[in-house]
A and B are shown apart, each in its own frame.
Chain A
Amino acid sequence: MPGTQTSTGATVPPMRGPAQGDTDAVLNNQPNQKYWSDSATGDLEQRAGHSRRVAALICVIGVLLTALSSWAAARVDDKAEQRLLQVQTKQAAAVLSTAILLIEGPLRTALSVQRVAGLKDTTAFERFMAASVGPDKSFVSASIWHRRENHLTRLGSVGVAPALAPGRPATEAYLRRAFHTTTFTVRAVSAGAQRRIAYAMAAQGSDLVVYAERAIPADRRSPVASDSAFADLHYAIYLGPRTDNTSLSTTDMDPSTLPLTGTTARATVPFGDTVLTVATSSGRHLGASLSQRLALMLLVGGIFLTLIAARTGQQLVRRRQDAERNASTITGLFERVEILYGQQRELSVRLQRALLPHAIPNIPHLEIAAEYMAGAQGVDIGGDWYSIIGLNDDHFAFVVGDVSGRGIDAVAVMAHARFTLRAYLLQGDSPAVALEKCSHQFDISVDGHITTTVVGVGNWRTGEITIANAGHPAPLLIAEDTTEFVEVTPGPPLGTGPTTYLSTTFTMSPGATLFCFTDGLIERRSESIDVGMLRLAATVQTSAEEPVDALVSRALASLRSNDAADDIAVLAFRWIPIR
């Protein structure tokens, strides 16, 4: 029972709070502080609001982090895609360069064949080109021309009629261009609905020029074989550096959907006196599929985790709030209980002290000391008491008693015993008679307590003492050189039932001290009562020469343990006759 102890000292503890009449005010006014939180609606709403704010904050942070990581993953994936596409586009351009050789090669060979044959005979040229000209072959039309003084003459031709018809100035102008380049010239031409590419190549150091036309598929579409290395690519090949539809040469797409969108890459390949521009886009994801899905996975997973975190956060906040609330409730109750215990104990101690003699009477030739000490534990006080009473001109009476048990009831029984004995003693009854009369007035079945007590009557002129004992530890008689317990036959405690008591009479030697006490001074749970009695005798023997109050204080100080539960009353007097 923590903190309930008010005082274990022999002096009255300072009273806390107002006087007794104001006790109710103390009880009612004290708790201004809150002992438990009100479960008012506002409070609940506030708590719920707080936990929702935490959840919302977690959500915002979680979504931000998720979006950031998803975006980063997507960026990484994009860059990887771009790089892969560029690599593939370069590879495609390299393949295209090789394909151009298939065009350039036959033309160059045809020129050589014609140079060897001379200007008249074109049979060899026609026979050679027949292999490359026709449906499903490289060219649809081919012809060989000779330049003489800026005038061009067609020597022979193979295949269909060319789009650039012989004899027209545009045709000759185009053919003449071929003499200004070391490779071949390229241009787009139209033969009716058919789009063609026209090639012209001049032989170095001669006046021969070969001309050929290659058909472009009507829709200009040429799908990529699905098993090709470039099956994942969409492409559009443009003649020249521009990528508008008029320059479009070949594509695997519907031309109306061009230009290519999405992740695109571009490469140019030298093509005669112009270039081919290869534009590509990825038909599907080129890199590892995990890389593509990572962003989405991060997004979905992140949002999922965010929701869980938000929910958990909300619960944790609520739990913490609940715990704080419970803790403050428990602390408040403890404080309340402690205050109540303190008040109750204080009242009990005040009652007890009110029942003890307020002042020790002056009795001639007696040096008197008395102490009462409350038990250290709990709120309940004991029922120990002492009395010393002047009776008449030469007699005095003294009582030390102990009511079993603790609490207000025990104190009430103590008061009953104390004042009943006092009354009998004042009317002149001997100790044994006073006890016998009392034994009729106490009943444990009614009171719930038994009372042990030593009652004595003394003559301060002669030092003669008569005592009787109702179940109480016998007093110690401390003389100059001996300390011994007074031999008095104990009768049963008060409350046991009606009975009679024996008494003992002895005479104190001058300066001797009679030391009466209650069992709190000698009782130890672990040992027989004799051990405690011998210890007390030994202790007081060493202080026999000291003043009585010092003797009492020393006995209490050395014998009372700090955690003693029982209360203690001690009454001692020394007889100092006039010599």
Chain B
Amino acid sequence: MAEFAARPPQHGVGSLAVSGEVDIAVVETLLAEARACLNADVSGLVIDLGGVTFIDSSGLGALVRLRNEAAQTEKNIALAHVPPAVARLFEVTGLTGIFPTRAGD
């Protein structure tokens, strides 16, 4: 189970905090929540992964998909507070360079 918390955009950047286990069961919810945040009013979205305890390949796929969709409308997806285990998974799956991470995170 995962939980999602969208916060109001600041300086034109939306924010979505994700926590829990991001797996095949919640992928559709993640996509829907993030797409809702990526509306016309924002130039980008920061997905805060600080509370994520597990992410599987479907979850990684959803993040890639969001990044590709955002790029089509010239928007950016950034990840924040990526936990070490998740960062390591990004490394193993060759995704480290795909997502910009916010400074200081």
| Chain A residues within CB distance 8 Å of chain B | 402, 404-406, 443-445, 448-450, 452, 469-474, 489-493, 495-497, 519, 523, 525-530, 566
Contact = CB atoms under 8 A, between A and B. Distances in A.
Interface stretch (B9-17, B32-40, B42-50, B54-62): B54-62
B5 interface: no
B15 to A, nearest CB: 23
B68 A471 contact: no
A405 B24 CA distance: 6
Nearest to B89: A529
Contacts of B21: 525
A471 B93 contact: yes
Contacts of A525: 21, 53-54
Given A492-B95, A492-B98, 20 more contacts: A405-B27, A406-B24, A448-B61, A469-B94, A470-B94, A471-B93, A471-B94, A472-B93, A474-B92, A490-B94, A493-B60, A493-B61, A493-B95, A496-B95, A497-B68, A525-B54, A527-B85, A529-B89, A529-B92, A530-B88
B94 A492 contact: yes
Interface SS of B by simple majority: helix
A526 B85 CA distance: 10
A468 to B, nearest CB: 11
Interface string B51-75: 0011011101100110011000000
A471 B92 contact: yes
Contacts of A449: 61
16 contacts: A404-B60, A406-B24, A444-B65, A450-B60, A450-B64, A471-B93, A490-B94, A492-B93, A492-B95, A493-B94, A493-B95, A495-B61, A495-B64, A529-B85, A529-B92, A530-B88
B84 interface: yes
Contacts of A404: 56-58, 60-61
Given A492-B98, A529-B88, A519 B68 contact: no
B57 A496 contact: no
Nearest to A566: B56
B92 A473 contact: yes
Contacts of B92: 471, 473-474, 490, 529
**6 nearest A-B residue pairs (beta carbon):** A490-B94, A404-B57, A471-B93, A450-B61, A471-B94, A528-B85
A493 B84 contact: no
Interface string B80-92: 0000110011011
Nearest to B53: A525
Nearest to A497: B68
B57 A519 contact: yes
A436 to B, nearest CB: 13
- Among the interface residues B21, B24, B56, B97, which one has the most CB atoms of the partner chain A within 10 A? B24
B44 to A, nearest CB: 18
Nearest to A493: B93
B69 A445 contact: yes
A526 B54 CA distance: 7
- Among the interface residues A471, A473, A495, A497, which one has the most CB atoms of the partner chain B within 10 A? A471
Nearest to B69: A445
A82 B53 CA distance: 93
Nearest to B59: A404
A471 B61 contact: no
B85 A405 contact: no
Contacts of A472: 93
A566 B24 CA distance: 11
